[in-house]
């Protein structure tokens, strides 16, 4: 088998693909080897201004485009994405370390985002308001304007696709800055949109210094709305800056998802699916199950089965079909996770498995399980975003729900039970943007996705998918002088 080739990286500005030649670049590294595999062109201030100008100039024509024509472009792009699954799966393995077995689901989800938003864009309805005699009143929904979007490295296909699809289907134009760690997958999606017939300037893709680019985009009067997925600290900073300019935002931030495992659960099957889900993408998923609260009557059987599954995972080269867990994104993330684990152990936590780096090449870390963790440990309160699971026993469901809420996060939550009463209590008590029971459901296009508390505000997907990208215009028309 020939070695996979990482493509040349570019910027997309006003329909022009701009290569890395004769400009500053950033290295893109393969997290499995630490080797540099690409040179990413850095957008200058003038480049970003060109992208903003293009989005502003093309906004009127794009918003006035027949919605059915916009839908046709998005549907065609979705089809092109589906036809290139193998290519994009390889890109994600090279630049993000996502195992080949996990890649197709993300690529197909990227295509689903375009299909969902295309269909929903034909259902953007206004309202006719009851009016006095001789007056017609209505409220219409219109695109907010050019959008700036920022997507993370841990979902290199689905996350930029969701933001592109929502903005474009709503009739907005877009400047997007995907993550510098994983640029090729986002560029491959942009290529599908261009090939599908998206007019030049409607979508612009830039990379570079995240702070400088975000500051420039937020300050521009042309940019009317922002969408960001990433960490809580960065989200706070962007929200503060956007507030100075009265720019609305969608913020999908971190998570620290609890899992409540009730006494009526089959501990062996629940533990196995929990472990397989926990270590997917090396735990680098904002909705990854992390804090496991297990009823004391089944605790030992559950955790033993969980550890057995974790220790049996094949950790290695993401380009191997046998690999179940690849590397972390880079050594900085590995060090951050290891620091949290060692802090917990130093405070009295029990390390049941893992807790160490694997090998001396690449950012591989062993699937880790911690028990007996004191409340003072940082890992209870900071999102680990890595391959570590935390365990604690509980006696009553009220206690478990209180523990689930004992963080500043509120993105995803999970529970295992067959009791209708337990489901009702968990549903009513647990503070989170999403709750999955007896399963682990991801951010599917048909469900509104987002968090509460420090996990952000606004929603992506579902029937609410355009709420951040549209605004209301109220129209009152006097139709009679009588």
Give ranges for CATH 3.40.309.10 in the chain.
257-444
Judged by DSSP in three states, 112 sits in helix
Closest CA to 385 of 228, 155, 208, 214: 155
Q: 124 with 470: CB under 8 angstroms?
A: yes
Q: Where are the alpha helices (DSSP H) in 365-449?
A: 397-404, 420-429
pLDDT value at residue 480: 65
Q: What is the DSSP string of 174-211?
A: EEEE--TTSHHHHHHHHHHHHHTTPPTTSEEE--S-HH
How far apart are alpha carbons 28 and 182 in whole angstroms? 8
**Consecutive sets of 10 residues in the chain, 482 residues long: mean pLDDT of each?**
86 97 94 97 98 98 97 98 97 98 96 97 93 90 98 97 98 98 98 98 98 98 98 96 97 97 97 98 97 98 98 97 97 97 98 96 97 97 97 98 97 97 98 96 89 96 95 89 56
Closest CA to 284 of 208, 336, 207: 336
How far apart are alpha carbons 72 and 27 in whole angstroms? 36
How far apart are alpha carbons 123 and 2 in whole angstroms? 47
pLDDT value at residue 479: 85
> What's 11-253+455-474's CATH class?
alpha beta
Give ranges for CATH 3.40.605.10 in the chain.
11-253+455-474
Tokens 């009127």 label which residue? 60
pLDDT value at residue 207: 98
How far apart are alpha carbons 30 and 36 in whole angstroms? 6
Q: Is the dihedral of CA 186, 192, 198, 200 positive or negative?
A: positive
Residue numbers annotated as active site: 252, 286
Topology classification of domain 257-444:
Aldehyde Dehydrogenase; Chain A, domain 2 (3.40.309)
246 Rama class: left (phi>0) / alpha (psi -120 to 50) / beta: left
Contacting residues for 88 by C-beta, under 8 A, at least 6 apart: 81, 103, 107, 110, 157, 185, 188, 189
Task: Tell me the sheet residues that pair with 259.
Answer: 292, 414
Q: 136 with 477: CB under 8 angstroms?
A: yes
- Quick one: DSSP state of residue 143? E
pLDDT value at residue 467: 94
**Sheet holding 470-478: strands in order across?**
127-129, 135-143, 470-478
pLDDT value at residue 441: 84
pLDDT value at residue 468: 95
Contacting residues for 466 by C-beta, under 8 A, at least 6 apart: 117, 120, 121, 124, 141, 166, 169, 170
């Amino acid at each position: 088998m020939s070695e996979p080739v990482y493509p040349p990286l570019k910027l997309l500005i006003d329909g022009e693909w701009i290569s890395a030649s004769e400009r500053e670049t950033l290295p893109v590294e393969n997290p499995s080897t630490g080797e540099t595999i690409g040179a990413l062109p850095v957008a200058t201030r003038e480049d970003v201004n060109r992208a903003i100008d293009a989005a502003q100039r093309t906004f009127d024509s794009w918003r006035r485009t027949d919605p059915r024509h916009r839908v046709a472009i998005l549907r065609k792009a979705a089809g092109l994405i589906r036809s290139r699954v193998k290519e994009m799966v390889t890109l994600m393995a090279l630049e993000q370390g996502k195992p080949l077995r996990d890649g197709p689901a993300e690529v197909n989800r990227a295509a689903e985002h375009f299909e969902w938003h295309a269909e929903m864009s034909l259902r953007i309805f206004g309202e006719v308001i009851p009016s006095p005699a001789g007056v017609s009143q209505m409220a219409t929904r219109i695109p907010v304007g050019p959008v700036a979007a920022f997507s993370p490295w841990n979902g290199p296909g689905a996350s930029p696709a969701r933001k592109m699809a929502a903005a474009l289907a709503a009739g907005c134009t877009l400047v997007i800055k995907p993550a510098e760690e994983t640029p090729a997958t986002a560029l491959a999606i942009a290529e599908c949109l261009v090939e599908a017939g998206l007019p030049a300037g409607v979508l612009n893709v830039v990379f570079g210094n995240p702070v400088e680019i975000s500051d420039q985009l937020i300050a521009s009067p042309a940019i009317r709305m922002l969408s960001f997925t990433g960490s809580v600290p960065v989200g706070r900073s962007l929200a503060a800056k956007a507030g100075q300019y009265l720019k609305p935002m969608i913020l999908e931030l971190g998570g620290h998802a609890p899992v409540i495992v009730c006494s009526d659960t089959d501990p062996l099957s629940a533990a196995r699916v929990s472990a397989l889900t926990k270590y997917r993408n090396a735990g680098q998923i904002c909705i990854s199950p992390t804090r496991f609260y297990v009823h004391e009557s089944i605790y030992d059987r559950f955790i033993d089965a969980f550890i057995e599954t974790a220790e049996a995972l094949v950790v290695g080269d993401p380009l191997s079909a046998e690999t179940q867990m690849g590397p972390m994104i880079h050594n900085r993330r590995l060090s951050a996770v290891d620091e949290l684990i060692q802090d917990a152990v130093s405070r009295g936590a029990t390390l049941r498995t893992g807790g160490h780096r694997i090998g001396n090449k690449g950012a591989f870390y062993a699937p880790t399980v911690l028990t007996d963790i004191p409340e003072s440990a940082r890992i209870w309160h900071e999102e680990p975003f890595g391959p570590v699971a935390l365990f604690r026993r509980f006696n009553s469901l009220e206690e478990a729900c209180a523990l689930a809420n004992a963080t500043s996060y509120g993105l995803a939550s999970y529970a295992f039970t067959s009791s209708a009463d337990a489901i009702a209590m968990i549903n009513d008590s647990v503070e989170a943007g999403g709750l999955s029971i007896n399963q682990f459901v991801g951010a599917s296009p048909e469900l509104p996705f987002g968090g509460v508390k420090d996990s952000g505000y606004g929603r992506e997907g579902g029937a609410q998918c355009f709420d951040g990208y549209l605004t209301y215009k109220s129209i009152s028309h006097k139709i009679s002088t009588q």
